[in-house]
Structure 1
Amino acid sequence: MTTASYRIRPAGPDDAAFLADVTLTATRAQGRLPADFDEADWRGGFEEWSLESIDDPATDLNVIELDGRPVGRLRISRTPGSVELNGIQLHPDAQNRGIGTAIITELQSEAATRGVPLELHVERDNPNARRLYDRLGFTKTGEDGAEDVMQWTQLWNAAVAKRYDTPGTGMFAPEVLGPTVDRLAELADGGRALEFAIGTGRVAVPLSERGVPVSGIELSNAMIAELRTKVDETAIPVVVGDMSIVRAPGEFSLVYLVFNTISNLLTQEQQVECFRNAARHLSPGGRFVIELWVPELRRLPPGTPATVGVAEPGYILLDTYDVLNQHVVSHHFHFGEGTQAELGRTPHRYIWPAELDLMAQLAGFTLESRHADWTGSPFTADSPSHISVYRLSTT
């Protein structure tokens, strides 16, 4: 199929009536208008909302044009942590010409360049849109009323998942993984364990082999596919979705989140919800364990927004900081003997230990212990990371 030539331009006040028209026409063509739909009332409210969106600096409301005539509506929001597709509607005459796919692909490219996810909501009674998003690689991460929340990210795609495991070295080294599994097995205390962001099973598989029943939540289907090369669904069941929202069946004595992964949630609100979701899964007195790095702002030279985290043959890690929003983007440079390098980016929101403790309190936890590593070394002002164990109330 050849993609039609289209143009996107900013919407103005004179476009408010058209934006309502095209949204109404597209929805009516799909047979999705309720029987008691009040068109006049809806149109008045929608046009007013469109005018507000035009004036909103945080939102880009656009008109899609084809051959010089308006045929669609596109609304996008951009935040430090994501690109959000708030809505795309095309007149039926402009559909099935590749325009929607091309626009979303451009947004995916933008999100990948920034190193952030592309997010959207889709109504459950809109199967055509859902099929498009599924085809373009979006994953359902939660629900919001009558809508599914979906996300696309290049951070944990198939290529990343394939090279994620480094058996015997790095975070897979026995001296790293052994104490991790030992401590988690102790904290599970004979009960079931749930891993948020289970990934390829770096921790879950050896913990399961120790006799601890383990389940998982994971956003990336590619990472789950790698996990499935090691164990099947009966051994370690996994629910696909956002660890701050999605529920796994059953009750657990331990929920754990390792290797700085809570910082992959890019807002304070999402991080608090992660604690609350852990609490929802735990039995009274259960534990939530977090492994997290301590922000390295003391290493940040005045006036310089970046630090070098790792510099070794074939790999350089450069972290750039946005101290206003507590965001850091890790830039991973992989290179060989030649002049070419491969760049990958991972965005994070860093959290101070005291802030983490307050998040825990908001979810009903108290801090039980904090150590510098999995072997129980004392946590000090110079510790680069910590293992924090939070306990849920028994009442």
Structure 2
Amino acid sequence: MSHLKSLLSILLISLSAVNASPLRRDASMATLRFAARLNAREDATLSIADADRARAQAMVHAGSKSKRAGSSSVSITNGVVDYVAQVGVGSPATQYSLLVDTGSSNTWIGAATQYNPTSTSVDTGDTVYVSYGSGEFSGEEYLDTVTLSSDLVITGQSIGVAQSTSGFNNVDGILGIGPTDLTQGSVSSGGLVPTVTDNLFSKGIIGTEALGIFFPPISANSAGELTFGGYDSSKTTSPVNYVPLTTTSPASSYWGIDQSIAYGSSTILSETAGIVDTGTTLILIATDAFDQYKSATGATMDQTTGLLTITSDQYAKLQPLTFNIGGSPYDLTPDAQIWPRSLNTEIGGSSSSIYLIVTDIGSDSGSGLDFINGYSFLQRFYSVFDTTDHRVGFATTSYTDAVIN
């Protein structure tokens, strides 16, 4: 599993919760499709749970201190699934395979496919460096035309052109779609670097600085979508319910929200702060909540995968795991609480076993970052990250209650 790739994550501020979305599909919205790709298990020394936990602790550390160049270091992609978009740079455009990253904000290329300047390329003379924990890149900053799709063409976009990279395999770089603040100190001239989302908005290509993300389950063999400027209502089966970003540190440094979690009728985590993160594979919860979940399900720890495992009889008795966010319940069904059995061997597990996707974050509740709603949550719910109104929203999809694992 290639977990030598790394990332950052995102933002703060607080508003009151809003239940009906004003964002709609219109001429100032456009969608970029991306493909899911399984990571090869190149190194089995770190389990999927350990990799996610290491990422979580790096987030706590990075979010608890002031920003400086290279100070934030978290894992670039989740431990098993990468999301890769084809992005054109230059004119005529060269196509690059870039990791879709909601947790960092610099867009850069050159890890695999070489950058060839064209008539639209401008060398700013500045150097750029970003550390992602166990991975990093350094190089030169250029301004160039970036083509996300026929409707999403950005002129004069800052890009990093890598001269040195580590921790990136079989990709050309990153499409950074996180908040602008995460670029602070990354370029030698100092200051902030406008992101692709910033420039789409400032140039009037999109009408609001919001991003809708559709992550189908990897077992569904379907493409994901980024919708710039709003959300794609054709992918949702309910209204988008919004909540303000949390003010609790260190979760407030990312896409942080407040929520509680119940298993069946019992609350296992009282309302507290945590984050929504596309780069985390599993669902991580505070140790005291995890211990309650383990006891309630009757699960045992599998040392090979680092995940809880249950029997078929225990699976038949699983209760919903409910995330209460802004007064709205989001239920993970029994099927949604287990790792896809067709992918058991991808995490070093047994094909006949049943593994749970809830694991221990590594610290008790009260740390200021008590949960991470990772890919295992986001593949069941559509998510909207709204910079304009400082909020995050969720809606159900056709996969919310699907039996696919």
- Superposition TM-score, scaled by structure 2 size: 0.25
Bigger radius of gyration among the two: 1
- Superposition TM-score, scaled by structure 1 size: 0.26
